[in-house]
Amino acid sequence: MSTDEDYLKKTGKGTRSVHSGTSPGENSLNTPVYQSSTFFLDDEAYEMWKAGTPRAPVYTRYNNPSMRAVEKKIAHLEGAEDALVFTSGMSAICTTLLTFLSQGDRIVTTRNLYGGTVLSLDQDFTRFGIDVHYIDIKDLDAVEEALKEKKTNVLYCETVNNPLLEVSDLPELAKLAKKYGAIPIVDSTFATPMGCQPLDYGFEVVIHSVTKLLNGHSDIIGGAVAGNKEIINQIWYKLRNFGGTMDPHQASLLERGIKTLHIRYEKAMTTASQLATWLEAHPKIEKVLYPGLESHNDYELAKKVLNSPSTMVCFEVKGGDEAGRKLMDNMIIASQAISLGGVESLISMPFSTTHVSWTQEARLAAGIGLGFIRFSTGIEDTEDLIADFKQALDRL
């Protein structure tokens, strides 16, 4: 590792966001887009390919300088030894889990996850003969009982879950996983490295949908995983086999997006905190879910695990789902869309998007009440977003 990389590892996250990984070409400030499917073979490349060494520089599915630049940036931000980028967040999740799970193996997790993850676990992982065991990840006694009752290969959770914004007790979960020989893996998309670095708490793999906050411009799909080099190399072999390799141009856009992550995150998080406080006091709002509010069940845990609350605000509108739909239709600045983490504010309702396949009974049991809205705070002026909510609520 170069002296420059060693130096950058000791700098702040903002500095790492801008400079880590960037690999300029001849007389170029930025990393070039290596839009090439294949590369010239030399003795080193032949030897690496023959030996099956990860990232042989022969073919973009194996390695590409544009991808390596952004992988190093993500690794530095997470405090990891290495990272990989994928075509999508789901590709990152499935490839990673299938690295450590085979027929007859077991994963202990929770249903309070991103809807796409639950769908894949229910429809595909069970079909592969993998035992998917759901528990309440907030109940540490239940987690330990599940890990103790049967050999478990993976313990999986989200740092801040989707959409209830519950915070996982990462330090305690990591201890339990290691006590019973499971690999602790966490999806930290909502938190980002700005809000939390799960590897510091003992987790071995951290996953991101870079589609969201890391890229932050709603213009690419992608995923990433970070961890120690040995684990990342294991995942690389499955990435090579399954083929979910990120495109060089996609990687270039992601690297550009991450360069502003620290200022985008700080702005959106500050606005989200003010908006959550304002919504909680509004008479047409039933309740607000935000880890930075004292009313949140995980307020104290959030202070322990997170560096900052969240850029997401969830709340329930009085009047149920119909009132929620009307509120969204009344919004002028915020747009209805299912993604999150972009520079523009986005609003959606889980019952008609991420959890549309769930029954109302199942949603209510999970804590997703009637009129539940998920709001992804952008970087617009705070006072304009609050004014937009005011006029939208006034028209209900």
**Model pLDDT for residues 313-368, shown as the tens digit of each residue:** 999 999 999 999 999 999 999 999 999 999 999 999 998 887 887 888 988 888 89
- Same domain (yes/no): 226, 272: no
Per-residue confidence (pLDDT) for residue 353, from 0 to 100:
84
Residues 222 and 269 in one domain: no
Number of compact structural domains in the chain: 2
241 shares its domain with 375: no
| Annotated catalytic residue, options 13, 68, 138, 212 | 212
**Of the residues 105, 169, 187, 321, which is catalytic?**
187
205, 240, 258 - which closes a domain: 258
Same domain, 22 and 147: yes
Same domain, yes or no: 285 and 345: yes
Domain boundary among 223, 258, 293: 258
* Domain co-membership, 137 together with 278: no
On the question of a cis peptide bond just before residue 163, with omega within 30 degrees of 0, the verdict is yes
Catalytic-residue membership of 139: no
Question: What is this structure's pTM?
Answer: 0.93
How much is the pLDDT for 366?
85
pLDDT digit string, tens, across residues 357-372: 788 898 888 889 999 9
Q: What spatial distance separates the first Cα and last Cα of the chain, rounded to whole Å?
A: 59
Please tell me the predicted confidence (pLDDT) of residue 3.
Answer: 58
Are 40 and 139 in a shared domain? yes
* pLDDT given for residue 358 in this prediction: 80
Bridge partners of residue 183, in order along the sequence: 154
What phi and psi values does residue 177 have, to the nearest 5 degrees? -60, -45
Determine contact, residues 352/368, Cβ cutoff 8 Å. no
Predicted local distance difference test score (pLDDT) of residue 365: 87
Q: Of the residues 114, 156, 180, 265, which is catalytic?
A: 114
* Residue 238 sits in the same domain as residue 292: no
pLDDT at 127: 97
Q: Are residues 165 and 301 in the same domain?
A: no
Where the chain has pLDDT below 50, the residues are 1
CATH number of the domain that residue 141 is part of: 3.40.640.10
Q: Would you tell me how many other CB atoms lie within 10 Å of the CB of residue 294?
A: 7
Indicate if 236 and 289 belong to the same structural domain.
no
- Give a three-class secondary structure readout of 333-361: CCEECCCCCCCCCEEECHHHCCCCCCCHH
Are residue 251 and residue 267 in the same domain, yes or no? no
Beta strand ranges found along the chain (DSSP E): 82-86, 106-109, 131-134, 154-158, 183-187, 205-209, 223-227, 285-289, 312-317, 335-336, 346-348, 372-376
Note the pLDDT of residue 8. Answer: 87
Find the domain containing 328 and state its range.
261-394
Q: Tell whether 299 and 194 lie within a shared domain.
A: no
Task: Tally Cβ neighbours within 10 Å of residue 360.
Answer: 12
CATH number of the structural domain spanning residue 346: 3.90.1150.10
Domain final residue, candidates 197, 227, 258 = 258
Catalytic-residue membership of 114 = yes
